[in-house]
Amino acid sequence: MNKESVLEKLQNDEHYYGDFGKKYLSNSDIGTLLTNPLALGQPSKPSPAFLVGGYFHTAILEPDKLKKYKVIESTSRNTKAYKEMSGGELCLLQHEVDTIELMTDKVLANDVCRDLIRGINIDYEKPGITELEGLNWKGKADIVNHDEKLIIDLKTTADLNKFRWSASKYNYDSQAYIYSKLFGYEFVFIVIDKTTHQLGIFDCSPEFYERGQDKVKRAAEQYKLFYQSEDFDPQQFFINQTL
């Protein structure tokens, strides 16, 4: 299968996150490979924060797909009404949706953010593949702005003033590095504070990309050790450090 056919198939989320897409590593694997390589490929448990983030992305990038989300009028997920209506499924609460709609309006009301997101020569949810450290990697960019030659990623944060710390904790540095290699453009984060709705636009320094590259190298080393070394016994693996 040639690259164009692969990218066309990865455009579909079922293939991107399914068995076909699992042939490729992605930034979401970085944390697992660096902390618990044996857990690679295990499904992650859905969380309210992840669901809220997904709705926010969809509201800005693909508003026609918002109908796929189930929304329940309830004060919390512990009420009897929520448990009956959700049927055990993780659902959005109406007040969460109301907040996301306010955040969406805030982002798109800002001229700079709107121009970056709603420009003319733009791709949304664009997949890419490349080889890094001798391994195949994939990614799907929120926004590729070809006029500005930028990859733009939308983030929500609990505290905008701590986004630098979050960027390291949640491996946004390795994301920026991988995506810059996938698409050949610089990487920019558009971030909104979930409490204050303050906006931030964060570009990436050479040092930020370098830290991301270092994580990719270390993650690739772990992958090769745990999954490509025939004589390796994971039961004998341990971390040795001096305190």
Q: What's the pLDDT at 153?
A: 98
Question: What is the CB neighbour count within 10 angstroms for residue 232?
Answer: 13
Is residue 136, in this structure, part of any structural domain at all?
yes
Identify any residues that bridge with 127 across adjacent strands, giving them in sequence order. Answer: 140
Q: What's the pLDDT at 179?
A: 99
Plot region of 125 (φ>0 → left; ψ -120 to 50 → alpha; else → beta): left
How many independent structural domains does the chain possess?
1
Is residue 240, in this structure, part of any structural domain at all?
no
Q: What's the pLDDT at 160?
A: 97
Identify any residues that bridge with 150 across adjacent strands, giving them in sequence order. Answer: 145, 186
Q: What's the pLDDT at 43?
A: 83
Q: What is the pLDDT along the chain (243 residues), one digit of tens a residue?
A: 899 999 999 999 999 999 999 999 999 999 999 999 999 988 888 899 889 999 999 999 999 999 999 999 999 999 999 999 999 899 999 999 999 999 999 999 999 999 999 989 999 999 999 999 999 999 999 999 999 999 999 999 999 999 999 999 999 999 999 999 999 999 999 999 999 999 999 999 999 999 999 999 999 999 999 999 998 998 888 888 999
Is residue 113, in this structure, part of any structural domain at all?
yes
pTM: 0.92
Is residue 237, in this structure, part of any structural domain at all?
no
- Separation between Cα atoms, residue 41 and residue 22, nearest integer Å: 8
Residue 184's domain is classified under what CATH number? 3.90.320.10
- Separation between Cα atoms, residue 17 and residue 146, nearest integer Å: 26
Is residue 28, in this structure, part of any structural domain at all?
yes
Q: What's the pLDDT at 187?
A: 98
Is residue 243, in this structure, part of any structural domain at all?
no
Is residue 238, in this structure, part of any structural domain at all?
no
Q: What's the pLDDT at 156?
A: 94
Find the domain containing 111 and state its range.
3-229
- Separation between Cα atoms, residue 179 and residue 137, nearest integer Å: 10
Is residue 242, in this structure, part of any structural domain at all?
no
